[in-house]
Amino acid sequence: MRFFLEVLISGLLSGVMYALVALGFVLIYKASGVFNFAQGAMVYLAALSVVGCMEKGAPLWLAIPLAFVVMTLFGIATEKFVLRKLVNQPPIALFMATIGLAFFIEGLAPMVFGSDPRALDLGIVDEPIEAILNNWGMVISKFDLVAAAIAALLVTTLALFFQYTRIGRALRAVADDHQAALSIGIPLQHIWAIVWGVAGFVALVAGMLWGARNGVQFALTFTALKALPVLIIGGFTSVPGAIVGGLIIGASEKLAEIYLPPLMQSAFGGNFGGIEGWFPYVLALCFLLIRPEGLFGEKHIDRV
């Protein structure tokens, strides 16, 4: 039982890290109805700019705001040079533009900040919390806990922001209908710039946490792939959905990794490992069959 709990908790905590990446997708999807293919690349860019600034001699407390400036400028530039030209175009055009954007970042960022993998030290150690280890005999990483707390804070703030502020309402309006949003006087351009700025900030938080854990390297762009099943389960349009989806994926993949192999071995024989790698996608596939809009997504009924 204790072991089960330990696996569950560490799974949930790592799920929060997935949720963090998924959140960036949700933000942009909500405001422009576009799946932002470049989200993974943005996570990479954000982490690289933190490390890059630190290499140039900036301390961590300065490197983070500097990276935020980079991400904000990037957001504004994206709106100005990519999205503005595509107002009222079908979503597929915007989607294709984000694919281009992803390649652009993946090429440019290493040119500016260097491409070799580097460590990022946030000053939070990745070791078991002693109190829990002594009292309960469970290994829970301090880093995971801090990361989860940061993510929780970020998510709560964003959820409130969307629900209760004027800009939040404008964001939802823009997401629903560009034409109508313009007609009531919502400046599409500002809203998009804000959204990409916020998505950049989320990418920065995700990039730092993932970068501190796995090192800042090109593989950070693949975190986006882990966010996909999270989005499918939680729904593309829901901030809370991204969190719940992340928790489900995190917990289920860790539990599956531990408890499935013996079952499968007795059923089919042979060795099973690396279930963690594919389990989330199978789970997402099942969700697509049963509930394609995700747990919290908006269900669209199209009239024929």
Partner 1 sequence: MSRAIGEVILDLQNISLRFGGVKALTDISFDVREHEIRAIIGPNGAGKSSMLNVINGVYHPQEGAIIFHGQERKKMEPHRAATQGIARTFQNIALFKGMTVLDNIMTGRITRMKASFIEHALWLGRAKREELEHRKKVEEVIDFLEIQHIRRTPVSRLPYGLQKRVELGRALAAEPSMLLLDEPMAGMNVEEKQDMCRFILDVNDQLGATIVLIEHDMGVVMDISDRVVVLDYGKKIGDGVPDEVKNSPEVIKAYLGAGH
Phi and psi (nearest 5°) for 269?
Answer: 75, 175
CA distance 29 to 275: 30
Q: Please select the residue that binds partner 1; options are 160, 219, 263, 282, rule is CB under 8 A.
A: 160
Picking from 206, 228, 211, the residue whose alpha carbon sits closest to that of residue 278 is 228
Decide if residue 76 touches partner 1 (CB under 8 A): no
**Minimum Å distance from CB 160 to partner 1?**
7
For residue 141, give the 3-state DSSP assignment.
Answer: strand
In the region spanning residues 221 to 280, those forming contacts with partner 1, defined by CB under 8 A, are 237
Decide if residue 176 touches partner 1 (CB under 8 A): yes
Q: Please select the residue that binds partner 1; options are 96, 145, 152, 167, rule is CB under 8 A.
A: 167
Comparing CB distances to partner 1, the nearer of 2 and 303 is: 303
Q: Please select the residue that binds partner 1; options are 59, 116, 134, 166, rule is CB under 8 A.
A: 166
Decide if residue 298 touches partner 1 (CB under 8 A): yes
CB atoms closer than 10 angstroms to residue 267: 8
Choices 123-131, 140-148, 169-177, 253-261 (CB under 8 A): range interacting with partner 1: 169-177
CA distance 232 to 1: 30
CA distance 246 to 154: 14
Decide if residue 293 touches partner 1 (CB under 8 A): no
**Minimum Å distance from CB 189 to partner 1?**
8
Q: Please select the residue that binds partner 1; options are 8, 124, 146, 173, rule is CB under 8 A.
A: 173
Decide if residue 185 touches partner 1 (CB under 8 A): yes
CB 168 within 8 Å of CB 4: no
Q: Which DSSP state fits 270? A: S
CB 210 within 8 Å of CB 51: no
